Amino acid sequence: MPRKRRKNRFGNHLLTFLFICIIFLLFYAFKNPILLYSSNPVIEINQDYDPSSNIQQVFYHADSDVKISGNVNTAKVGEYTITYQLNNYKKTCIISVKDTQAPVLKVKSYKTDLVEDVKPEAFVKSVKDDSKVALSFKGKVSKDTEQTVTIVAKDVYGNYSMKDAKLTLVEDHKKPVIEKSTIHVYTGSKPNYKSYLKITDDLDQKPKIKINSSNVNTKKDGTYKLSVTATDRSGNKAKAKIKVIVEQPKKVVYMTFDDGPSENTDKILKILKKYDAKATFFVTGNNQKYNSSIKKAYKQGNTIALHTYTHDYATVYSSIDAYFEDLQKISDMVKNIIGKAPKYIRFPGGSSNMVSANYSDGIMTKLESMVRENGYEYFDWNCSSGDAASNSVSAQTIIDNSTNCNYDQIMILFHDSSPKTTTVEALPKIIENYKERGYVFKAISKDTPEFHHDVNN
C-alpha cells in the first residue's frame, strides 16, 4: 500500500512538473513569439538570400504578420542587421556575408623567348571569383628552357588556388611579319599610319614599330611609299615599304552618335583615335556629369552637333516654340563647353518620326523648313545600327546591321548613351570592315551631302 501511494505521488509530481513546463513554454512563446533558425546566419557572397527564410516559427500568428526591416547586400562582404517585428515585439539578427570560396583557376602552357619578363597572367586561361583576384608565382621563374611554374590566384579575403603550368623558353631568331597591304588616305588628312598596319610576331605580341612618312605628301594626290620597321624584343628586325595612295575620298562613312554623352563616349573616342577615324556626336543635356567628353571629342577633331536638351518627345514636340526652346538650351550648353554654338542638328526620332504627331499635328513639316531659316542644317541617316531597338541588342547584330550598307556616302545611326555597351563592343569590327572596303571616316562638315528622310508629319 505505501508503495502504491509513492507511485501516485510521483505521478502527480510529474504531471505538475509537465504542467508548469507547458505553462512556462506558452508564456515564453507569448513573450517571444518569433523563433529564428539563427541569430547570426552566415551566407556566401553573391548568394541569393531572403531574410524570411530565417524564421523557424511564429507563435499565435502567421509568418506573414512579421514585418522585416533592413537590407542585406549579398554582393559585398560585411555584417548586416535585420529586424523582425511582430506588434511591439522585435528581434534582431546579424547576417554575415563572407567570401570563403577559392578562385576557380584554369591555366595553359606558355612559350616565349629568353628576353621576356614573364608574368603569371600569361599562363591564365581563365580565373573566376566573386572578389578581386591577384595573380603571382609560387617561387621564382628560372631561365631553364623547360620548367614547371606554379600560378597562385588569391582573392582579397585570402582564399587561393594554385595550378602548375609548363613554361618553355627558346632563342628567338624569327623577325616580325609586316603585312604589305596598300593604305588609302584622303587628301588633306593627317593619318595615323599605325592604325593601318598589321604586324605580327610569333613570340612578341607588341614589337616596336618605327614609321617614316617623310616621303608621303598627304596634301597632294598620288602614290607614295611609307617606310616601316618592326623590331621584336629579341632584336629581330623587319623592314618594309608600304604603298600609300593619297586621293580624294569617293567612299565615305559618317558615323553619328546620338543621346550622349555618357561613360561610353570616352570609350568610343579611344576607338576612333586608334583607327584614325572621325565621327559626329549629336548631344543631349541628360547626362551632364560627362560633359567633359564633349570637349574631348571636339578637341580630337570630331564634330559636335545638337540633338535635344531633354529628349522628352511630349515636351519637345508640344509646339514650335517648345522645340526651339529645347534646341536653344542644348545650343547654349554646348557653346559653354566648346566655345561656339553648332549649327548641325538631328531631330529627336529623325525628321521622319511619327511620335511627334501624338503631340502636334504637322509639326515636322513646319520645323523642317524653319530650322533652315534659322541657320541650322539637319541630318538624318541612310544606315542604322539597330542599337535603338533595345538596350540588349547584341554586338554581332549591330555589326551586321551597320556593315550591310553599300552606298558611296553612308551616314550610320549609333547611340552612345549609358546602356549602349554593345555599340562600343561592335565599333572596331565595323570600322575595320569599311576600311577594308576602301571607305574613309569623316565627321560632318560643310562639305557633307544632305541625308534627309521623307517627312511624315
Residue 64 belongs to domain with CATH number: 2.60.40.10
Global pTM reads 0.56
Same domain, 108 and 186: no
pLDDT number for residue 13: 60
| Residue 136: Cβ within 10 Å count | 14
Question: In the chain, which residues have pLDDT < 50?
Answer: 1
Boundary (domain end) residue, out of 170, 201, 228: 170
pLDDT number for residue 341: 96
> Strands 383-384, 409-415: parallel, antiparallel or unpaired by DSSP?
parallel
C-alpha cell at 23: 505553462
**Residue 11 domain-assigned (yes or no):** no
| Residue 322: Cβ within 10 Å count | 18
pLDDT number for residue 174: 96
pLDDT number for residue 1: 47
List residues bridging with 186 in a β-sheet.
Answer: 247
pLDDT digits (tens, 9 = 90+) for 362-413: 999 999 989 999 999 999 999 999 999 999 899 999 999 999 999 999 999 9
> Strands 199-200, 177-178: parallel, antiparallel or unpaired by DSSP?
antiparallel
- 104 with 131: CB under 8 angstroms? no
Q: What is the DSSP letter of 252?
A: E
Same domain, 243 and 298: no
The parent domain of residue 128 ranges over 104-170
C-alpha cell at 188: 588633306
pLDDT number for residue 185: 84
Boundary (domain end) residue, out of 125, 147, 170: 170
pLDDT number for residue 402: 97
Boundary (domain end) residue, out of 170, 188, 203: 170
C-alpha cell at 421: 555597351
Q: How many angstroms separate the CA atoms of 20 and 420, rounded?
A: 69
Same domain, 283 and 312: yes
**Residue 145 domain-assigned (yes or no):** yes
Q: How many angstroms separate the CA atoms of 216 and 224, rounded?
A: 5
Same domain, 128 and 91: no
pLDDT digits (tens, 9 = 90+) for 58-69: 887 888 888 989
pLDDT number for residue 346: 98
Same domain, 302 and 436: yes
Q: List the end-to-end C-alpha distance of the chain, in Å, as a whole number.
A: 111
Residue 415 belongs to domain with CATH number: 3.20.20.370
Provide CB contacts within 8 A for 290, sequence distance 6+. 260, 261, 262, 263, 265, 266
**Residue 23 domain-assigned (yes or no):** no
Same domain, 269 and 316: yes
pLDDT number for residue 143: 86
The string of DSSP letters for 225-259 reads: EEEEEEE-TT--EEEEEEEEEEE--SSEEEEEEEE
Same domain, 76 and 156: no
When divided into structural domains, the chain yields a total of 4
**Residue 400 domain-assigned (yes or no):** yes
Same domain, 328 and 379: yes
**Residue 9 domain-assigned (yes or no):** no
pLDDT number for residue 59: 82
